[in-house]
Structure 1
Amino acid sequence: MQGHSSRARRALAHLPDADPALAALALWCTHRDGDGPTCTRGDTVLYGPDFAALSLPEQVGLAGHHVLHVALRHGRRMGAMAARQGDAFTPDIYNIAADALVNEALLQAGHALPRPALRLTDLLRATLGPQAAGPDALAAWELDRLYLALLRDGAAAARAHADAQGTARDLSPDGTGDAMDSGAPDWQGRLAQALAAGRAAGRGLGLLAGRIGDAPAARTPWERLLRGLLARALTDTPRRSHARPARRWLAMDAHAHSAGGPAPVFEPGALRGGLRARIAVGLDTSGSIPDDVLARFGAELAGIAGRTGAETHLLAFDETVHLQRCLGPGDWSGGLPRLPARRGGGTAFGEMLAQADRLSPALIVVLTDLDGGFGALRPAAPVLWAVTALPAAPPPFGRVLELAG
């Protein structure tokens, strides 16, 4: 492997004339020659012997393909999804979704790609149906949502379609799996500036400004917000206890005895510590929750205890609570090993919230689609509704937080 790519030199030199937006983004990528097929690894594009055999227009298009993988943070987002899903993660479907998005953008921008090329509109028609492949598909779909839709409704068809196009895996997970991507804000700015330059030049990717829905998101991951809520809920507020006097009272009492004065009025002392984070987690297993979403909830549930160190009480419910248990450290190996077997039925939050409130938790987290009745009880503990999609109307209490990806 060399310090800089000699194979890509001609294509990269041609980029400023062909596509000012891609040329600007390529400056922020590392370009090296590799021994295997051309692929993306983190912020590095590795150009294999297959790249050298292409025509110049195809080299420009393929270089743009991998530059967009980097700019759209596909490797980092792949790593975060793999961490969330655990053993359920399907890397080839994620790669197919990522390739379809970048190829669609490049073809709409007028670039050539090695044929046959996997593109978004064709993939959607082959998997989710013609209604999903409208003219605004590029603006409507982002990578994680496309991956989850393919996984749920068209994984086999997606593989068959990709195989027919001769698509090979060219992307691998990047990072530690933390949902927080510190580089996302920088790439947001670079992408916006690059598209503006391309739009001003009137050619290339800049013509699609505002029509690319798969942009890197600089959002705070929900796990970080959860940890913040836990920290506030468990703030070490002193509690008064008459079992021990306050230090100030001890000093005043000693002074009164030595001076022969009256004893001061007793002041109780403050008790600190002894509190361990305890959260109650309501897991919605009703019929409105598909199996893949339930598995996602299980992975998120594992992350709650694993990342906060909290004593976690699981309450699986539909219209009533059908499983309640305190989950220990051994439950988190590879995610939650066995999700509750009871499935189907409607959703009601009242009994679950009442049982959770009796545990006196610092926080109640409810993993749900919010499709159910809330009941009359408003718990004393703060409630966090963790949902896969924001509801049309907010619940009567608590904070709603959308699960990233």
Structure 2
Amino acid sequence: MHDRIVKQRAALVLSQPFFGALALRLAIVEDTTCESMWVDGVSLGYNPAYVDKLDDLELRGVLAHEVLHVANGHCWRMGLREQQRWNQACDYAVNPLVLNAQFKLPQGVLLDGRYLGKSAEEIYALLRQEESSQQPQQSAGGAGSPTPQPSDGEPSQAKSNGCGEVRQYTGADKPAVESEWRVAVSQAAKAAKMRGSLPGDLEHLVEAALRPSVDWRAVLHRFAAEAAHDDYSWKVPNRRYAHLGLYLPSLHSEAVGDAVFVRDSSGSVFDETQRQFAAEIVAMHQQLQPARLIVIDCDTRVTQVQTFARDEVVDLAPLKGGGGTSFKAPFAWLESEGIAPAFLVYLTDLDGGFPPAAPAYPVLWGSVTPLDRVAAPPFGECVEVIA
């Protein structure tokens, strides 16, 4: 075990108890195969050659950096995302917090003011969107063209992992480990607050980390199923009790009415999220078989409407739009067409003007902005959609 790491970890316990208490939970492992450091929620790996290049204050800052990755759940939230881009997104998310807590970090760490206050998932989507938008420009130059260099303050995607690598914990006890860390983060935050040493932005991070994660797809399917629920009907008597002379209702499934999905086409919802949302629209059509599937694209106005019958194959056209955001137009269009759907699902960033009154049908807002950063809609249910 590297003596300097132990010493700086002890310094964290005394000077920054939030970081120190959490750092003690990580087993320190020497790993000469890694470039710098890594963390997976259970262990902290380090390359001695990298540690030797850091002064004591930088080493303390890097330890705080690694602790924040675990405290923020980065070690179990990557999912199917690409590893290197996820590492970069996580670094962009935690580095400002580390610096704001008065730590020192090594030269060249990932920092960008555009990502301040955003989650790793949001930053990942932004990085992916930026990379996709640059690809046509890069390919247009031909085979002999030089590779474009990033502008100042925008590190290239090929840059090293900086302070370290966020590894995903894959043990069979992952749920228990994650739960233990939630408790530990909460306890460390309370202890630090009692000493007056928990910065406001870290308090916000703790609140976000302690919120239970919700699979928006499960919420979407539950909402749609409930909105199109089966009910008891007297139209068809229950034959099970007919021989007793009892005329009782039977469980009768009425045909599901129109299902409406609205896609915010203002540009605030990234391509990957739109693709995943489109996949869920198709799945919902197959599962519920509504009378009609109506998909509306809208920025400040309705830019496209696609309608599919119950037995029709759903092949969604590309998103149309790109202006500002207003939520009034889709509801007004449905009213003008005399359509009262079984339910409506709206994918958006929740930054826009709402209708003056709630419609009579159920509405689910899928917010691509974390719910703790936006005001609740005046009506309907809301779920956070992070792709």
TM-score (normalizing by structure 2): 0.66
The CA distance in 2 between the partners of 1:33 and 1:356, in whole Å, is 67
Whether 1:249 aligns to 2:249 is no
The CA distance in 2 between the partners of 1:61 and 1:219, in whole Å, is 28
> Which string of whole-angstrom CA distances, capped at 9 and with x for unpartnered residues, describes residues 142-193 of structure 1?
44445556666799548744789965484357379xxxx8866653442242
CA contact (8 A) 1:278 1:310 kept: no
The CA distance in 2 between the partners of 1:10 and 1:330, in whole Å, is 63
Per-residue deviation, 1:393: 7.7
- Aligned partner of 2:344 in structure 1 is 364
Aligned with 2:66: secondary structure? helix
Larger Rg: 1
Whether 1:339 aligns to 2:339 is no
Per-residue deviation, 1:284: 3.1
Whether 1:297 aligns to 2:294 is no
The CA distance in 2 between the partners of 1:330 and 1:18, in whole Å, is 59
Per-residue deviation, 1:25: 0.6
- Aligned partner of 2:250 in structure 1 is 270
Whether 1:218 aligns to 2:211 is yes
- Mapping of residues 1-400 of structure 1, within 5 Å: 6=1, 8=2, 10-12=4-6, 14-19=8-13, 20-34=17-31, 35-37=33-35, 38-55=37-54, 57=56, 58-79=58-79, 82=81, 92=84, 94-113=86-105, 115-118=106-109, 120=111, 123-124=112-113, 128=114, 140-148=117-125, 156-157=150-151, 160-161=154-155, 167-168=161-162, 170-172=164-166, 174=168, 186-198=180-192, 207-212=197-202, 213-215=204-206, 216-221=209-214, 222-242=216-236, 244=237, 246-252=239-245, 267=247, 269-272=249-252, 279-285=259-265, 289-290=266-267, 292-293=269-270, 295-303=272-280, 310-311=287-288, 313-318=293-298, 319-320=301-302, 321-325=304-308, 339-341=318-320, 344=323, 348-350=329-331, 353=334, 361=342, 363-369=343-349, 371=352, 374=355, 378-379=359-360, 381-389=361-369, 394-395=377-378, 397-400=379-382
Aligned with 2:29: secondary structure? strand
Distance 1:41 1:32, change over 3 A: same
CA contact (8 A) 2:238 2:249 kept: yes
Distance 1:207 1:359, change over 3 A: same
The CA distance in 2 between the partners of 1:345 and 1:18, in whole Å, is 47
Per-residue deviation, 1:315: 0.7
Identity of aligned residues (%): 22
The CA distance in 2 between the partners of 1:158 and 1:240, in whole Å, is 71
Per-residue deviation, 1:280: 3.2
Per-residue deviation, 1:345: 8.2
The CA distance in 2 between the partners of 1:146 and 1:214, in whole Å, is 15
> Which string of whole-angstrom CA distances, capped at 9 and with x for unpartnered residues, describes residues 243-299 of structure 1?
x554333223xxxxxxxxxxxxx82651446878984322233xxx11653552332
The CA distance in 2 between the partners of 1:267 and 1:394, in whole Å, is 45
> Which string of whole-angstrom CA distances, capped at 9 and with x for unpartnered residues, describes residues 109-165 of structure 1?
45444x314264xx32xxx4xxx9xxxx6xx45444455566667995487447899
Distance 1:70 1:324, change over 3 A: same
Structure 1 portions without partners, runs of 5+: 1-5, 83-88, 253-265
- Aligned partner of 1:263 in structure 2 is none
Count of paired positions:
345
CA contact (8 A) 1:239 1:271 kept: yes
CA contact (8 A) 2:92 2:120 kept: no
CA contact (8 A) 2:366 2:384 kept: yes
TM-score (normalizing by structure 1): 0.64
Aligned with 1:384: secondary structure? strand
Per-residue deviation, 1:367: 1.6
The CA distance in 1 between the partners of 2:230 and 2:334, in whole Å, is 25
Per-residue deviation, 1:55: 4.9
Compute the RMSD of aligned alpha carbons.
4.7
The CA distance in 2 between the partners of 1:218 and 1:346, in whole Å, is 28
Distance 1:352 1:183, change over 3 A: farther
Which residue identity does 1:350 align to in structure 2?
F
CA contact (8 A) 1:69 1:102 kept: yes
Per-residue deviation, 1:11: 1.1
The CA distance in 1 between the partners of 2:40 and 2:337, in whole Å, is 45
The CA distance in 2 between the partners of 1:345 and 1:162, in whole Å, is 30
Structure 2 portions without partners, runs of 5+: 135-149
Aligned with 2:78: secondary structure? helix
The CA distance in 2 between the partners of 1:101 and 1:369, in whole Å, is 20
The CA distance in 2 between the partners of 1:337 and 1:46, in whole Å, is 46
CA contact (8 A) 1:388 1:402 kept: yes
The CA distance in 1 between the partners of 2:275 and 2:100, in whole Å, is 39
